[in-house]
Chains A and B, each alone.
Chain A
């Protein structure tokens, strides 16, 4: 009992530190990547001086994120005289919390057997093993959609309670845009559910560790390349980032639904956005890129297409899986940042037209083709 609790706490701590770490690092990565993409150097002036010495640690500008966070904490928390201060105060948290909660069902590693890791642990844990995931739920993917739908409420609350027309416009845009793309997101994933026959994310990952056609890893992106593109697009639109950043379009709406927010409340909105990049990366990795496994790898070790198999000790497997997951998530995040700094913003009618007249039919077509193909193969 206590052992289960300890393991759960360890997993929760790991997940939260991963998300916070990604949120912080991504602010830096976004700056630096944008700079390198456009022949610039990027922010690199903030430094930490080792006390009583002249040694300045610059570390490629990593400390700019800390400086920004500190600035946001120390700034005046300006509150508009709004008629609904409660909704105003609660809105950032309503945006921020679901983003963290989504990560609860995403598996960030295979199975952990403490006894196999280190013999003395076996006395305490017995021969129990734990899937590396905070909440082992059968309804994994449904939970993801349930929680990510909640962020709309936060954006709407923020815009409505600010008593500001820019905010209200931004909130309306956020609402209609996010609901439209939520639909596309759901439909694209349905194809994968048909193929894998489950909504449990961990078993989805396990089913991706085989091979298809002999050589290719059986990743979701191999089965459903089209759905992968649609999913990523819809997910970026969900996250309200350029080219879909209409709800907060600076040039039109100042900052959209969080115009009236200042200091750390505004910081929460920003931070939620960056964490959501990581969460989207994690989801995409889990659904389409084989999750925490390297190609041809499973909990037992590698099984290469030629028939060669390499068994790995449990500790090595765990470490490889954790590292692989982080690396894949990072690559997807970086790709999202590449998109953000490449494409110009849509016009608002284009955003909705794109969702309803372009992506939705494509998603449905993809689903139909998948359904027919799955039926054909099973029959």
Chain B
């Protein structure tokens, strides 16, 4: 059985090498000049104390180009008297697709307007997908997400559980449109 030898298909736009490229060495030198030039440029930057890389040195550096509406760390808002605005309704925990919010409710007879409050409010950041559904679900505007990312990288996952005090005390200054504590409701539906 005789087989035709394989003939490679030729394409109309196939790159053609001229004699200069075929001579090989000049093109190699050109390539080396490019990479060497990048090396020298970056090295000079490093040696003069600037950063010669595009890498963000996470987590020591944060990226400057986070979007304005970036969903970062959760914030529990407070009432003017400093108590958490959350009424422990568990809506956020229910809607959370990753099931990472854990709330333990308690009864506070002294505050007749909001008798129910969370004693424990924990988010497991090792599993949170930062979808923001909890923020959408909250009827009390008690949970928000700040633009800043939490300083989370750690050696073990247990340090990635953040409790009520961390979520309350994290006070980002960036959000001017929605001040903390939130403005008192005027009652006219605004």
A contacts, CB < 8 Å to B = 33, 35-41, 229, 338-339, 341-343, 358
Query: Mask for B19-40, Cβ within 8 A of A = 1, else 0?
Result: 0000011001001101110110
B35 touches A341 (CB 8 A): yes
Q: Looking at the complex, which one of B28, B31, B35, B55 makes contact with A41 (CB distance below 8 Å)?
A: B55
The answer for the CA separation of A339 and B25 in the assembled complex, in Å, is: 12
Given A36-B43, A41-B55, A342-B31: A229 and B38 interface contact (C-beta under 8 Å): no
Given A229-B25, A338-B36: A39 and B31 interface contact (C-beta under 8 Å): no
The smallest beta-carbon distance between B168 and chain A, in angstroms, is 29
In the complex, besides A33-B39, A38-B38, A41-B53, 4 extra interface pairs with C-beta distance below 8 angstroms are A36-B38, A37-B35, A37-B36, A343-B28
A36 touches B35 (CB 8 A): no
State the interface size on chain B (CB cutoff 8 A): 18
Q: Looking at the complex, which one of B25, B36, B42 makes contact with A39 (CB distance below 8 Å)?
A: B42
A40 touches B46 (CB 8 A): no
The answer for the CA separation of A33 and B53 in the assembled complex, in Å, is: 12
B177 on the A face (CB < 8 A) = no
> What are 29 sample pairs from A and B whose C-beta atoms fall under 8 A apart?
A33-B39, A35-B53, A36-B38, A36-B42, A36-B46, A37-B38, A37-B39, A37-B42, A38-B38, A39-B38, A39-B42, A39-B52, A39-B53, A39-B55, A40-B54, A40-B55, A41-B53, A41-B55, A41-B57, A229-B25, A338-B35, A338-B36, A338-B39, A339-B32, A341-B35, A342-B32, A342-B35, A343-B31, A358-B24
Which A residues are CB-close (under 8 A) to B42?
36-37, 39
Instruction: Using CB atoms, name the residue of chain B closest to A358.
Output: B24
Given A229-B25, A338-B36, A338-B39: A36 and B31 interface contact (C-beta under 8 Å): no
B53 touches A36 (CB 8 A): yes
The 4 closest A-B pairs by CB, nearest first: A342-B35, A39-B54, A37-B39, A41-B53
The answer for the CA separation of A41 and B58 in the assembled complex, in Å, is: 11
Instruction: Using CB atoms, name the residue of chain B closest to A344.
Output: B31
Which A residues are CB-close (under 8 A) to B24?
358
Which B residues are CB-close (under 8 A) to A341?
35
Which A residues are CB-close (under 8 A) to B54?
39-40
The answer for the CA separation of A41 and B55 in the assembled complex, in Å, is: 6
Which B residues are CB-close (under 8 A) to A36?
38-39, 42-43, 46, 52-53
The answer for the CA separation of A258 and B8 in the assembled complex, in Å, is: 34
The smallest beta-carbon distance between A123 and chain B, in angstroms, is 48
The answer for the CA separation of A37 and B52 in the assembled complex, in Å, is: 10
The answer for the CA separation of A37 and B43 in the assembled complex, in Å, is: 9
The answer for the CA separation of A245 and B142 in the assembled complex, in Å, is: 60
Instruction: Using CB atoms, name the residue of chain A closest to B37.
Output: A37
Which A residues are CB-close (under 8 A) to B55?
39-41
Which B residues are CB-close (under 8 A) to A38?
38
The smallest beta-carbon distance between A49 and chain B, in angstroms, is 14
Which B residues are CB-close (under 8 A) to A33?
39
Which A residues are CB-close (under 8 A) to B46?
36
Which B residues are CB-close (under 8 A) to A229?
25
Query: Mask for B124-142, Cβ within 8 A of A = 1, else 0?
Result: 0000000000000000000
The smallest beta-carbon distance between A340 and chain B, in angstroms, is 10
The smallest beta-carbon distance between A181 and chain B, in angstroms, is 16
The answer for the CA separation of A39 and B54 in the assembled complex, in Å, is: 6
The smallest beta-carbon distance between A240 and chain B, in angstroms, is 19
The answer for the CA separation of A169 and B177 in the assembled complex, in Å, is: 67
The answer for the CA separation of A41 and B38 in the assembled complex, in Å, is: 13
The answer for the CA separation of A310 and B16 in the assembled complex, in Å, is: 57
The answer for the CA separation of A38 and B24 in the assembled complex, in Å, is: 23
Instruction: Using CB atoms, name the residue of chain A closest to B46.
Output: A36
The smallest beta-carbon distance between A368 and chain B, in angstroms, is 20
The smallest beta-carbon distance between B68 and chain A, in angstroms, is 27
The answer for the CA separation of A100 and B31 in the assembled complex, in Å, is: 32
Query: Mask for B48-63, Cβ within 8 A of A = 1, else 0?
Result: 0000111101000000
The answer for the CA separation of A37 and B32 in the assembled complex, in Å, is: 11
Instruction: Using CB atoms, name the residue of chain A closest to B52.
Output: A36
Which B residues are CB-close (under 8 A) to A338?
32, 35-36, 39
The smallest beta-carbon distance between A235 and chain B, in angstroms, is 16
The smallest beta-carbon distance between B141 and chain A, in angstroms, is 41
Which A residues are CB-close (under 8 A) to B35?
37, 338, 341-342
Which B residues, 48 to 89, have Cβ-Cβ distances below 8 Å to chain A?
52-55, 57
The smallest beta-carbon distance between A14 and chain B, in angstroms, is 30
Which A residues are CB-close (under 8 A) to B57?
41
The answer for the CA separation of A40 and B54 in the assembled complex, in Å, is: 6
Which B residues are CB-close (under 8 A) to A342?
31-32, 34-35
The answer for the CA separation of A342 and B35 in the assembled complex, in Å, is: 7
The answer for the CA separation of A341 and B52 in the assembled complex, in Å, is: 18
| Most chain B CB inside 10 Å of its own CB: which residue of A37, A38, A339, A343 | A37
The smallest beta-carbon distance between A243 and chain B, in angstroms, is 9
Instruction: Using CB atoms, name the residue of chain A closest to B39.
Output: A37
The smallest beta-carbon distance between A217 and chain B, in angstroms, is 23
